[in-house]
Amino acid sequence: MSNKNELMVVTGADGFIAGSLVADLRRQGYTRIRAVGHKPLDQWAQLFPDVENLHLDLKLRENCETAARGAAKIFNLAADMGGIGFIEKNKTACMLSVLINTHMLLAAQKFNVQSYFYSSSACVYNAGKQTDPNCPGLKEEDAYPAMAEDGYGWEKLFSERMCRHFREDFGLRTRVARYHNVYGPHGPWFGGRERAPAAICRKVIEAKLNGHSEITIWGDGNQTRSFMYIDDCVKGTQLIMDSDILESVNLGTTEMVTINQLIDLVESFAGTKFKRVYDPTASKGVNGRNSDNTLIKKMLNWEPTIPLRQGLETTYRWIYEQYVAREKGERLYA
C-alpha cells in the first residue's frame, strides 16, 4: 500500500474520472497530490485548494516531465475523448492522445517513478466480438486479433502495449485497466462528450421540465452495454495499481442492459413515460458489449458491484440539479 506522504500524480484531473480519483485520494488522507489537467482551472469538474493543481498540455514532453517530477505513483487518465458521438467524429484528436501516454511513460522512466497506471478502454476489443446484443462478456484476450474502435480504440490498444514494453524493457511497474462505460455525478451530461447514461438522463429531464412528449434515441434501443458507477471505477483503479496483475484487465460490471432498459430506469426516476423516436442514422457503437470479470475476481477477489439502478438514480438527481442550475444561468459542469 502507498505511503500517504508520497507524491501521487493524477493526470486528466480536470475531467470526470480523474477528478473523482483525486477526491477519493484526499478522503483517504493522502497529503501530497498533484492534479494535472488541460483545461483552465476554473473549468475543472472538481477543484480542491489543498491539492497542487497544474494546468498543462500533456501532449508536450516538457510538460509531462513537470507533471512526473518527484512522483511515487502516476495515475495517467488523461485523454481527449467522450461518448460514441464524439469519438466517431474526432478520430484524429483521439489518436493524438498517444502523445500523452508516450511522453508520460518517458517521464516516469526518467524520474524513477515507482508505479504507473494507464486507463485504457473496452473500445480496444475486436469489433467482430461485439456484433451480437447478447454478448456473453468480453475476455481480455478478445482484444486480439486486433480490430479496435477506429481512432480512439486503436490509440488505447497501442498505448497498452507501450506500457507493457516499458515494463519489460525498462522495469517500470505499469498497470492497465480497461474501463467499461463509466458514469456518475461530475461526468459530462451535455455538449457532445456525454455518454449514454448521462445523455438519456438529460433528455428525460429536458422533456419533463419542458412538457415534451417524446425523446430521441440513437440506434434502435436494442444495443446492450454494462455501465460502471464512478465509485467502483475509482476503487478498482487503485486496487489494480497496487495489484500483481501484469496484463490489461477489465474494469466494469457484468450487469448488461439494453439501451431501452436504461431508458426504462431513467423514466422511473422521472415518474413519467415518453414516446421514443429512434434514429438509426445516429452513432450507436457496437451492438453488444459486456465485461467478463473472471480475471479481476481471480486476482483481486473483487469486482464492481454497485447496481445500475442505485448509481443511475444518484446520477439522475445530480444532472437534474445541474440542469436547473443551467436554466438559472448558474455555474455548472458540462
3-state secondary structure 100-125: HHHHHHHHHHHCCCCEEEEEEEHHHC
pLDDT in tens, 191-236: 989 999 999 999 999 999 999 999 999 999 999 999 999 999 999 9
Report the relative pairing of strands 182-183 and 228-229 from DSSP bridges: parallel
Known catalytic residue: 316? no
Answer whether 204's CB lies under 8 Å from 270's CB. Answer: yes
Percent of the chain with pLDDT over 90: 92
Q: With pLDDT > 70 as the criterion, what percentage of the chain qualifies?
A: 98
In angstroms, the CA 87 to CA 151 distance is: 7
Catalytic residue among 152, 179, 183, 323: 152
Position 329 scores a pLDDT of 87
In the chain, what are the domain boundaries? Answer: 8-183+226-254
pLDDT on residue 330: 83
- pLDDT at 334 > cutoff 60: no
CATH superfamily to which 8-183+226-254 belongs: NAD(P)-binding Rossmann-like Domain (3.40.50.720)
**d(Cα 122, Cα 116) in Å, to the nearest integer?**
20
The residues pairing with 179 across neighbouring beta strands, listed in sequence order, are: 121, 251
Summarised one tens digit per residue, pLDDT across range 313-324 is: 999 999 999 999
How many whole angstroms separate alpha carbon 72 and alpha carbon 133?
42
